[in-house]
Amino acid sequence: MKSVHIHLLLFVVLLGINKSFAQGPPAAQGGAPVMNPPVSVEMMAGSRGLSYQMIVNKKFQSVPRLGFFSVSNFQTDWKSSAMRDYMMQGNLTLSLVKGLDISSGFIWTPYTGIRPSAGIMYTFANRDWLIVANPRTDLTKNANMEVLALAEFKPMINEKLKFYSRLQGLYTQDTGIGEHGRSYIMARAGITIKDVTFGAGANFDFYGPQKIKDHNIGGFVNINLF
């Protein structure tokens, strides 16, 4: 059954790729270049240690229905030199309709190693709001199923300053044991000046079936790159 799901996903992706190439690049269609969001890099120093996150969400200029979505993050601990809490995922995305993509790629954690992954991503964005929801599952036996969601509210204060706030959450269910695997809630509030945002932040982390708590409260800096 899982093999059928994988083959069906590949068929949908290939069908979308074929349609995208048949339509031609934006220039050939008379369209404007794809406006991609910047790469977001964030570091927070807090009571527990250093937290890092990078988000990449880009569309291909030549085939705008195709894109690449990646989230990488880690959490260090001032009390230990070993880093056991990190995650990296990379996905090719295919746009079905505006704001709704399917994705397929990999996820890598210290507990599961590298696993193939597939999911759906919903995005809503305007001048003040960004909302993203990304449910996904491992394409392996004893798969982890998870939902990543974030909401940003960033209204203008004046011509040079923006208020910035973000609430981001993750919940992972370990289907091998039928229990909670990993979850977190991230909260941020600060000020944006051009491509730099800084302020106060908090990470609330929960591990394993017992939902062991480990929190990090401190200050963050977020930089928008290319």
Q: Is the dihedral of CA 225, 172, 211, 84 positive or negative?
A: negative
For position 6, what pLDDT does the model report? 44
DSSP string computed for 155-198: -BSSSSEEEEEEEEEEEEEETTTTEEEEEEEEEEEEEEETTEEE
How far is 14 from 17, CA to CA, in rounded Å?
5
How far is 146 from 40, CA to CA, in rounded Å?
22
For position 25, what pLDDT does the model report? 44
- The reported pTM is 0.84
For position 62, what pLDDT does the model report? 92
For position 32, what pLDDT does the model report? 73
**Residue type at position 225:** L
For position 84, what pLDDT does the model report? 87
CATH 2.40.160 matches 2-224:
yes
For position 50, what pLDDT does the model report? 97
> Mean pLDDT, consecutive 10-residue segments, the chain of 226 residues?
44 46 46 85 98 96 94 94 92 96 96 94 95 96 95 96 98 94 97 97 96 96 95
Longest dimension (CA), the chain: 57
For position 53, what pLDDT does the model report? 97
For position 33, what pLDDT does the model report? 82
DSSP string computed for 111-166: TTEEEEEEEEEEEEE-SSEEEEEEEEEESSTT-EEEEEEEEEE--BSSSSEEEEEE
What is the domain partition of the chain in residue ranges? 2-224
Closest Cα partner for 214 from 52, 87, 49?
49
How far is 132 from 123, CA to CA, in rounded Å?
5
How far is 11 from 43, CA to CA, in rounded Å?
39
